[in-house]
Amino acid sequence: MSHIVVLGSTNMDLVAHVARAPERGETVTGHGFRTHPGGKGANQAVAAARAGGTVAMIGAVGEDAFGTRLRQELADAGVDTELLRLVPGPSGTAHIVVDDAGGNAIVVVPGANGSLTGLAPGDEHLIAAADTLLLQLEIPLGTVLAGAEAARRHGVRTVLTPAPAQTLPPGLLAATDLLVPNEHEAAALTGSRDPAEAARVLLDRVPEVVVTLGARGCLYAARGADQLLVPAPEVDPVDTTAAGDTFVGALAVALGEGRAMPDALAWAGTAAALSVQRAGAAPSMPHRSEIDASAGVVA
């Protein structure tokens, strides 16, 4: 079984459904609204837990009703929340517009996530006991770097999702084993809109890269090896909000179980394809039995 620690954000997602997203200065009428737990960190934690991993979450929630619900939802998904901090003030929120084609636009307000200004007592011990540390960029960069360096000290695989896209300190990339950007983040990091070229550039900084390509699947690159394009299952998307996080959570589980990278990528792609056929972030994430059934895995 995979042992995964997630160091990252927890947000309450406030989701408005519209026929099409508004242009700047425009008001449109929506046809649905819901709230549900999210945040890239929490999303990856839930995805990994549902995919069959043993998962612990390092993060922070506020002293509000959102914080209470966020903690409970993680626990209900089987995520260990012992080191999920409770801090004064509001929890993080994500304000999401989802159009009828399944596309989305998101504004994140960090809230309690901004209080994660370093590792707390017990955090490094938890990381040291894992086989994989999942990181994203919705908490202060210094803390992301501290987590990556702690993982490196203890020989723990570090998987970084560089979102939201921003300039990364060299030390963070040096402590990253596997970088998983989408094609837009890969372009922002390298200046190249060609995923294959972007992946080649990124290999100068990290040993392995997976560029996610949405409905086209993903591109895997590693030093000293040919690039590999892994297609995604063809589906009709309903909401793509958490597809990338579902992919990363499932990928971490597959790699922790010792699967070869091509098989791990295909299995994670199946999990992501299942997630986009349902509305919401955490509510859309499939359980292991569903992933295995869709991927044709024989128990």
Residue numbering of the annotated binding site:
11-13, 39-43, 138, 182, 212-217, 239, 241, 244-245, 275, 278, 280, 284
CA dihedral 170, 195, 214, 110 (to 10 degrees): 20
Q: In whole angstroms, what separates CA 212 from the centre of its chain?
A: 12
Q: Say which residue the tokens 């995979």 belong to.
A: 2
Annotated binding site for substrate: 11-13, 39-43, 138, 245
Catalytic annotation, pick one of 123, 131, 245, 292: 245
Main-chain dihedrals φ then ψ at residue 227, nearest 5 degrees: -70, 150
Q: Terminal CA-to-CA distance of the chain, rounded, Å?
A: 15
Closest CA to 125 of 86, 94, 154: 154
Alpha-carbon distance 190 to 205, whole Å?
11
Q: Does the active-site annotation cover 263?
A: no
Cis check: omega of the bond before 207, within 30 degrees of 0? no
Q: Where are the alpha helices (DSSP H) in the chain?
A: 40-50, 65-76, 123-128, 141-153, 170-174, 183-190, 195-202, 243-256, 261-275, 288-295
For residue 191, count other CB atoms closer than 10 A to its CB.
10
Q: For CA atoms 197, 167, 232, 292, give the dihedral sign.
A: positive
Give ∠ CA 66-28-283 in degrees, rounded to 5. 35
Main-chain dihedrals φ then ψ at residue 219, nearest 5 degrees: -120, 125
Annotated binding site for ATP: 182, 212-217, 244-245
Annotated binding site for K(+): 239, 241, 275, 278, 280, 284
Pairing of strands 92-99, 104-109: antiparallel
List, by residue number, the catalytic residues.
245
